[in-house]
Chain A
Amino acid sequence: MIGRAAVQPLLDDRQGRRAMVWIMAIMIFLTTLSAALGLSTQGAGRALDRQLAARLTVQVIEGDAARRDAVTAALLGRLRRSAEVARANEVDRARLAELLEPWLGEAGLDADLPMPAMIDVDLRSGDDATVARVEALARTAGDGIRVDRHATWLAPVRAFVAALGWTALGLVLVMASATAAVVLLVARAGLDTHRGTLDILHMLGSTDLQIARLFQRRIGQDTLTGGLIGALAGGLLVALLGQRMATLDSQLADGVSLRPLDWLVIALLPIAFTLLAMFAARIAVLRRLARVL
């Protein structure tokens, strides 16, 4: 193995190395932002799932107000007794009328208007089997029962959040591919730049692996240095944006925040990219050297 002491002078191109460090810093800065976007949208998706999957609205559609109130009361009792229901409350009529006023005007406040009764139900679990059982339980109360899953209403929002997450993951993969491509180019350029030195090493009996290690070590150092700079800058920006988002006081914004595990993933990005760059450098150098004797 060629010792560390010999490595620095052997591949002595400090100017080129500075450029490589900054290229890697920019790549990993952008990757950090993409990863943060992906992880936070994943968090938002989880928050939506938590909030929506276990939540139902049961409508009691009955023209006769007295019968509607009786069915509603019976249904509320049945739901509250169910072990799978955490909470079941009838939506306040006045509040309903208030919500309808923009569309129906003063008529929305008319007590004779055949308005369905609505019950908000929070389940203990949002799994499909539980939801189906509670739906079936609600329907036993009468014919005019309609059950709406909140998850169904907000499915397009959930799909959009998921699409954002996939897009962010795609961006991370694109950045990783671009990093590997940059490393391949840098390694090939390095082989050309240091051709004289490499010919000497070759003549002295260096193996391909020894020469590849010189490059992978140097490129690894540059990627790690640039990666730490990029991840630090990206992390600071993400933290700053997180602080701003926290002031929005929105349920969805709460979900968008990063968990400690997410921060760990972001912190590991420079190491992951360093390993990727070292692998790419090794492959590039070994392939090129395999063409010479």
Chain B
Amino acid sequence: MASIVQFENVGLRYGHGPETLSDLSFTLSEGTFHFLLGASGAGKTSLLRLLYLAQRPSRGVIRLFGEDMVLSPRERLPGFRRRIGVVFQDFRLVPHLSARDNIALPLRVAGMPEDELAGPVAEMLAWVGLTDRADARPPTLSGGEQQRVAIARAVITRPEILVADEPTGNVDPIMAERLLKLFASLNRLGTTVVMATHDHHLLHRVPDALVMQLEGGRLLNPVGTA
């Protein structure tokens, strides 16, 4: 399988503080599923921020889709971001928009004409089981429903990489398992999934998943993640 993510000696430092991430080197292949484990402060969120291009590293090389993200000009980054879906623990939905409009947002950003949005959005709403809540705004949705909207928004453009930061952290175990099934089904369609979690019970729910363990900003299994 071709590699879709490559980190070489990546380090990340915020301001003049100590390195939050150090000497990260790993490769993720297309279509693989990865759990990112680590205690609070281990650097999971920082690593994910590098993956979804919210941050550039302080040193090292990051290649996504075969392109060097460190040297890539800023103007090209939005194009790469559109190929990456992101799900957060706190959902990050636009509170004024309905579930339908939140899910449609990536398509609008990508420039899809308004009259072509309805079909894909309805399909996503059905996939996450929220067809009857399409017009509800996030504050009126439960945590699980909001997370499903966030997942639908993250995957509606069929991203090549899906990055999820503790997506099950704010939902009950039943909902967590349901969300995981959504990620697994997306992975079966070819999306590379990187999911940060505290919940070790979830690891066994995805049989082929690989595990990346972070501790103190370093990967404990740097070579075993490909």
Contact = CB atoms under 8 A, between A and B. Distances in A.
B2 interface: no
Given A9-B101, A204-B82, A2 B109 contact: yes
Given A200-B105, A204-B106, A293-B54, A5 B96 contact: no
B186 interface: no
Contacts of B55: 293
Given A6-B104, A204-B81, A204-B82, A12 B111 contact: no
Contacts of B59: none
A34 B73 CA distance: 47
Interface stretch (A46-54, A98-106, A180-188, A205-213): A205-213
Nearest to B114: A3
Contacts of A5: 101, 114
A91 B53 CA distance: 89
Contacts of A2: 108-109
A92 interface: no
A204 B109 contact: yes
Contacts of B81: 202-205
Contacts of B86: 203
Contacts of A3: 108, 113-114
B123 to A, nearest CB: 18
Contact of B92 (A199, A205, A210): A199
Interface residues of A, number: 22
B86 to A, nearest CB: 6
Contacts of B111: 1
A196 B105 CA distance: 14
Nearest to B110: A205
B78 A6 contact: no
B189 interface: no
Contacts of A251: none
A5 B56 CA distance: 33
Contacts of A201: 105, 109
Contacts of A204: 81-82, 105-106, 109, 153
Given A9-B94, A9-B97, A10-B96, A210 B109 contact: yes
A71 to B, nearest CB: 84
Nearest to A4: B114
B26 interface: no
B17 interface: no
A200 to B, nearest CB: 6
Contacts of A207: 75, 78
A215 to B, nearest CB: 16
B104 A205 contact: no
B119 interface: no
B28 to A, nearest CB: 20
A9 B104 CA distance: 13
A12 B96 contact: yes
A2 B109 CA distance: 5
| Max count, chain B CB within 10 A of own CB: residue among A1, A5, A12, A205 | A205
B200 interface: no
A82 interface: no
